[in-house]
């Protein structure tokens, strides 16, 4: 008999969602939600989602097709005619991989599902530091969204967004994942490639730098492992 309350976890299949799931699993029974928003590496991310769901023994799983984001366009992640940029970790500009208002779309879906299945929390592995250019990754965005949930759901519904790693640096996320025995080797972060991670996109660069700073070796395969410091 599992008497833990239920929480929805947004699981892209990446490192951050893997560690977020491990944190959520300490207190909650988990339901995993994966979004296919038409990203170039969706097939590989979906495999990571399934591998993680198996590793966490998750029964409640939902895949949602949000490829309308590709139709709306405006991002190199979903528009095959735009090139995914190589990493520039020192840039303060909003990267072209930004899908406008993507997290609001994702959260809205997650809340709808959470209300139907009776979950009381919604975990998302957003990180403020390494995505300072994405407006919908900031704490004030999630705070505002919690207010939308409070006003836009049934009176007896009580769902709150939790962002347990939002203030952590990548190396701290990796260390916390290790401490919780999170299956980091099953996660996938690369925006560009599906067999071996490219090593040069923003997401690979942040991940590799995080492992280096944590003094650990990333267990997934790379085409190239530049020395990000």
Binding footprint of a copy of itself on the chain (CB under 8 A): 62, 64-66, 68-69, 71-74, 94, 99-105, 107-109, 111-113, 115-116, 135-136, 138, 140-141, 143-145, 147-155
Beta carbons of 39 and 45 less than 8 angstroms apart: yes
One-character DSSP codes across 134-198 = -GGGSHHHHHHHHHHHHHHS-TT---EEE-TTTT--HHHHHHHHHHTT--GGG----SS-SSSB-
Residue with tokens 């095959």: 80
- Smallest gap, in angstroms, from Cβ of residue 68 to a copy of itself? 4
- Smallest gap, in angstroms, from Cβ of residue 179 to a copy of itself? 32
Residue with tokens 């928003």: 37
- Smallest gap, in angstroms, from Cβ of residue 165 to a copy of itself? 19
Nearer to a copy of itself, 155 or 215 (CB): 155
- Smallest gap, in angstroms, from Cβ of residue 60 to a copy of itself? 12
37/102 Cα distance (integer angstroms): 9
82/97 Cα distance (integer angstroms): 9
Nearer to a copy of itself, 7 or 200 (CB): 7
Chain centroid to Cα 141, Å, comes to: 16
- Smallest gap, in angstroms, from Cβ of residue 129 to a copy of itself? 17
Nearer to a copy of itself, 55 or 66 (CB): 66
Nearer to a copy of itself, 150 or 179 (CB): 150
Nearer to a copy of itself, 130 or 136 (CB): 136
Nearer to a copy of itself, 100 or 226 (CB): 100
| Contact residues for 13 (Cβ-Cβ < 8 A; gap 6+) | 34, 44, 45, 46, 47, 48, 49, 51, 52, 187, 188
- Smallest gap, in angstroms, from Cβ of residue 158 to a copy of itself? 13
């Amino acid at each position: 008999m599992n008497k833990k309350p239920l929480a929805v976890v947004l699981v892209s299949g990446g490192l951050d969602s893997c560690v977020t799931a491990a944190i959520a699993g300490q207190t909650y029974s988990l339901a995993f939600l994966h979004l296919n928003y038409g990203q170039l590496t969706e097939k590989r991310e979906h495999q990571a989602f399934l591998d993680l769901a198996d590793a966490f023994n998750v029964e409640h799983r939902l895949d949602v097709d949000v490829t309308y984001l590709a139709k709306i366009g405006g991002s190199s992640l979903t528009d095959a005619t735009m090139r995914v940029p190589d990493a520039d970790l020192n840039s303060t500009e909003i990267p072209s991989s930004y899908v406008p208002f993507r997290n609001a779309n994702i959260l809205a879906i997650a809340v709808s599902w959470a209300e139907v299945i009776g979950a009381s929390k919604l975990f998302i592995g957003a990180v403020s530091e390494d995505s300072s250019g994405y407006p919908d990754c900031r704490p004030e965005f999630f705070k505002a969204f919690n207010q939308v949930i409070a006003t836009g759901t049934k009176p007896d519904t009580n769902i709150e967004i939790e962002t347990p790693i939002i203030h952590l640096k990548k190396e701290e996320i990796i260390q916390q994942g290790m401490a919780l025995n999170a299956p980091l080797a099953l996660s996938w972060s690369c925006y560009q490639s599906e067999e071996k991670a490219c090593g040069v996109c923003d997401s690979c660069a942040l991940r590799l730098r995080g492992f280096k700073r944590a003094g650990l070796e990333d267990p997934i395969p790379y085409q190239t492992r530049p020395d990000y410091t």
